[in-house]
Amino acid sequence: MSTIRDDDGQRGLLSTFQAADYLGVPRETLAVWRMRKTGPRYSKIGRHVKYRQADLDAWVESRTIPTGARS
């Protein structure tokens, strides 16, 4: 996954559109996850929803299932 940077080249907050693109899911999926409280952490800034890339990465990592793991 590539790092999304703002105009100054710094890591910034991602919009819903950018977060959906980063995760490879439709924007509507993020809205459903927010409603169900099952998706990645997000921030509300006014009426805008923003995501931190680190939170998206942590959320993906928490759902990663190791292959070939033996019990």
DSSP 6-71: -TTS-B-EEPHHHHHHHHTS-HHHHHHHHHHT-S---EEETTEEEEEHHHHHHHHHHT---TT---
Least confident of 8-17, 42-51, 61-70: 8-17
Average pLDDT over residues 1-23: 76
Q: Residue type for 4, please?
A: I
Residue 10 is predicted with a pLDDT of 47
pLDDT at position 39 over 50 = yes
Q: Which residue has the higher pLDDT, 5 or 19?
A: 19
Mean pLDDT of 23-45: 97
